[in-house]
Amino acid sequence: MSPVALAFGVLEVTDSAVWLSAVITASMVPMIATLIIGGGIADRYRRDTVLRLTSLGAGISQAGVAILLLTHQHPALLLPLSALNGIFQALTTPAMRGIVPQLAIGRGIQQANSLLASARNTTRIVGPTAAGLLTVSVGGGWAIAADAASFLLAAVCFARISLPDLPSRAKGGPTMLEELRQGWGYFSAKPWIWSVTLAFAVFNAVNMGVWQILGPVIADDTIGAEGWGLVLSARAAGALLASMVMVKLTVRRPMVPALSSMTLTAVPLILLGTGANTFWLAAAAFAAGVAADFFTVVWSTVWHIHVPERLISRVGAYDDFGSFASVPVGQLSAPVLAAAFGTAAVAITGGALLAAAMLLLSRSGLHLVPLGAVLRERGIGLHVIAPCGPAAGSADAGVMQSARRSLPCRSNRSRKHIRPSATARSWLSSLLPSTQTTTTGRRGRALASYFTDGDGSR
């Protein structure tokens, strides 16, 4: 709701695209700049408390924006409130990313991610329509006021979530800066994470520049505003369908089709450049929406299972920062490139670049996600049977010791072992040199099959 309401609210007061751009930039730049700090805070303090406070703060700041718009104040006063909203978003995103595995376990993680994606997609469909109706009927200021109320309602909902208190920190423990360095160390040591981050830096730059900026310009000359609205609705419908199906669907080795399907997101851009009609653009956009949300749910689930809970918000913040820092580059460069080479050429080239990035990612072996990284103190279904005695030195020694404390030493004879591929075994040996990964029960085998074939091959 907020983007549509804010856009028309600012234009209603100023009738200036320059001020609208300034207000949007004032929110985006602080959001990107403080994402990493938000990850540190979300790993350091209770995430339910962080989400309550940020939702409350966002509701108050949005209410301030609504008051300024309704009273027709100078748009410069909107800039600090927009910056504050961006900061609250930067604090919210890592906390939301980290709270899911605290509330769901096993198969429930994919279901939780699917339901969250369904809720997001529903609001993306309903929100702009509601904002448009409110803006036309009572003005953009009141639409922003409704958006502020939604944040306050979110704060009330988060108040019903109660997570256990974090262990008290030892005196002289690591500072937040040191903890952020730990998060960076984990992120930079995992190619399966940072390779996806780099690929999605390309995706977001191209998608934002071509689809969001040049798309309406090209559509205005080809299919018109009504046709463009149908195309956007088709993409949103595809995304909603994928997220709803993924609540129940179980896919063996899901990272393989998820990564491969992302090449479909390039097709609408290429068709846009070739001047395709509304039907073909809408069909391609629908398929792209399905692919994008299928990947989103799978990636979030893999992420929540593999990244240690104590690091998940910090590592996620680095991932988000790397993925979205390229957005302003795409927004600023697309019009310049279009002026030099033409909108059609930029759209086709952007689509080809996006397809190449996704194809390279899908064939890079990143679906060989290391089974040994699934070391969770909360017991997720894949456990580590560790030998008695002192822990072997490794990057995840703290998690290893916690796993040893929570699991009894036992014989492995009665356990059915997963035999990983050679690549997976190299990951295992580098990560957990003195451990063996095994499944425990039906839930463990189901989760194992989420990443491997029955015999452990991928």
pTM check: above 0.85: no
CA distance 112 to 187: 24
pLDDT digits (tens, 9 = 90+) for 393-447: 343 444 334 333 333 333 343 444 434 444 444 433 333 333 333 333 443 444 4
Task: Report percent pLDDT > 70 for the chain.
Answer: 75
> What is the structure's pLDDT at 365?
47
Average pLDDT, the chain: 77
> What is the structure's pLDDT at 167?
64
> What is the structure's pLDDT at 407?
36
CA distance 299 to 304: 9
Tokens, residue 275: 């001047």
Better pLDDT: 188 or 22? 188
**256 — pLDDT class (breaks 50, 70, 90):** confident
pLDDT digits (tens, 9 = 90+) for 285-320: 999 999 999 999 988 888 888 888 889 999 999 999
